[in-house]
Amino acid sequence: MKPKILLHICCGPCAGKITELLQADFDITGYFYNPNIEPADEYLRRLQTAITLVNHYGIKLIKGIYNNKTWHSAIMGLEFLPEGDRRCWRCFRTRLVETAQRAKKEGISNFATTLTTSPYKNARVINKLGNVIATKYGINFIETSVKPENRNNPSIARQLKLYHQKFCGCNYSQFK
């Protein structure tokens, strides 16, 4: 029997390749926890892409709560920093901590994230954060890195006709 892993899914298009890679070694449960996505209808649209994707791969999806106000509290004071700066590190941390806590609650001893897939995000920062959080919560963080040429090739997102967003998620990334 394969070990279980809780995979934090930021959106459907980012999740395809990582799901395929991890499925070889793990029994995946997806976790959609992204209170950074604004406005709420954009959040629901991305949630739907995640549902379409996990249904395609036959994996379960846990829907996290949309505590957008709590997320704003977490990044307070960093709102107007450029994308990729410390606001994003705090945003990654918020979602990874919640994923680690949820994994513990579900009795799952491994977690990972699809955030590393994005060409606009620093996978080294995300993997470093994941490892620090894993140590704190006494579980394993599985580092992922998807090579650029494999991100969309073959493009499961295209095949499933997934909505592909034009901005990262928060209002600060939309109106930069």
Sheet strand arrangement including 27-32:
60-63, 27-32, 4-8, 110-113, 140-141
Phi, psi of 56 (to 5 degrees): -60, -40
Tell me if residue 107 falls in helix, strand or coil: coil
Of these, 133, 142, 146, 168, which contacts ligand SF4 (CB under 6 A)?
168
Q: 26 vs 172, which CB is nearer to ligand SF4?
A: 172
Q: 52 vs 68, which CB is nearer to ligand SF4?
A: 68
Decide: 19 and 57 in contact? Cβ < 8 Å.
yes
Site map (CB under 6 A) of ligand SF4, residues 122-161, x = contact: ----------------------------------------
Of these, 13, 16, 32, 36, which contacts ligand SF4 (CB under 6 A)?
36
Q: Does 42 bind ligand SF4 (CB under 6 A)?
A: no
Phi, psi of 21 (to 5 degrees): -65, -45
Q: Does 170 bind ligand SF4 (CB under 6 A)?
A: yes
Q: How far apart are CA 30 and CA 173, in angstroms?
A: 25
Residues that bind ligand SF4 (CB under 6 A): 36, 83, 87-88, 91, 168-170, 172-173
